Amino acid sequence: MQIEYVVPCHFGLEAVLKREIRDLGYEISQVEDGRVSFYGDELALCRANLFLRSAERVLLKAGEFSAGTFEELFQGTKQIPWEQYIPENGKFWVAKAASVKSRLFSPSDIQSIMKKAMVERMKEHYHKNWFPEDGSEYPVRVFIKKDVVTVGIDTTGESLHKRGYRPQSGKAPISETLAAALILLTPWKRDRILVDPFCGSGTFVIEAAMMAADIAPGMNREFTAENWGNLIPKKHWYEASTEAQDRIRQDVTADIQGYDIDAEVIRTARKNAVNAGVDHLIHFQQRAVRDLRHPKPYGFIITNPPYGERLEEKETLPQIYQDFGKSFRGLKDWSAYMITSYEDTERWFGRKADKNRKIYNGMIKTYFYQFMGPKPPRRKKEEQGV
């Protein structure tokens, strides 16, 4: 059975998610700001949750309709065949409502009216006036854009950035999904050197190591839809989980390094890498960015340097970026990629970026600066078996 799924992601990174979904073998139905939709079967729900690195969550699309008034919203919601998705004892509510350029814009009103419409539909189908809601959870998410209402049932639960390996975060952490998407935007591959000189809690290097070993990002967590016995047979979850286990490359080697000036932060990063099962692929070290060195050419820096969000940090930023730029110039034929909201990045780094891309990290407007080095000679690539 073909089902349409809606997958939200960070604004500006839709192309990365689209490629990931295609690589899983599914057909894209639509790409919009901050989300990609695709068609798949019931197993696709399990595989998307387990394997997608840049997705925030996976929604099962229940319906879509136009509504410019609350009455139209009520009737449109009531038309959706909720009984096909939610059993008699299911717990259901509108967990989140978002509205852009639409006449209906109050999230709390949208949520309560839709819940009432769902109850009315369920009453008519189940011939009951009251529902215990003591069974599995079916949280609903709704997005209204230009009066078009898209309704999805959340199959994920806690956002997919919650991989399960990072109970503690350093200062100004970058989310796992954003880190993974940014790595996927670069040409880095597991046979190339990767260094994060501001590694913090280790997110970039851990995500890279998981990619190198082909470890599915959702392996060590649970999903809301695992309890949907009425919709998704358990065998599909076992099948997706077995595929994830089979794909892990136990024999892989990588040159991935995480540095930070703070010893406590490095200890946390090491613990997180152990939790993710990739500590053997990453070398962590307490080291300042001015001491960044590497003898080999054609490496990659992918990092999230300090932004100076706190006033007292602002004064130290020029020196940090100056030191970073100086170290980078000492690395032969390397490429550097950094995400930061610091407006004087290029000035103090000492070089204009070859490309930059605007990306929202939460509510902070940031730029992903890309300083590209040359590609390694083809002959060397062939020797490495690429």
pLDDT given for residue 155 in this prediction: 98
The pLDDT tens digits of the residues spanning 59-103 come to 999 999 999 999 999 999 999 999 999 999 999 999 999 999 999
Q: Which residues of the chain have pLDDT under 70?
A: 168-172, 309-312, 379-386
Same fold, 3-154 and 176-215+227-383: no
Q: Name which of 255, 358, 338 is nearest 289 in CA terms.
A: 338
Q: Where are the alpha helices (DSSP H) in the chain?
A: 14-23, 42-51, 70-79, 107-126, 176-185, 203-212, 234-247, 263-276, 311-314, 317-329, 345-349, 378-383
pTM over 0.85: yes
pLDDT given for residue 168 in this prediction: 60
The pLDDT tens digits of the residues spanning 112-161 come to 999 999 999 999 999 999 999 999 999 999 999 999 999 999 999 999 99
Question: Two tokens at 353?
Answer: 């970026």
286: part of which helix (H) or strand (E)?
strand 282-286
Domain boundaries, given as residue ranges, for the chain: 3-154, 176-215+227-383
The pLDDT tens digits of the residues spanning 40-65 come to 999 999 999 999 999 999 999 999 99
pLDDT given for residue 364 in this prediction: 84
* Contact assessment for residue 238 and residue 205, using Cβ atoms and an 8 Å cutoff: no
Residue 37 in 3-state DSSP?
strand
- Does domain 3-154 fall under CATH 3.30.2130.30? My reply is yes
CATH class of 176-215+227-383: alpha beta
d(CA 103, CA 146): 8
C-alpha to C-alpha distances, 378 to 104, 294, 385, 386, nearest whole angstrom: 56, 22, 11, 9
Average pLDDT of the residues of the chain: 94
d(CA 238, CA 246): 12
pLDDT given for residue 381 in this prediction: 44
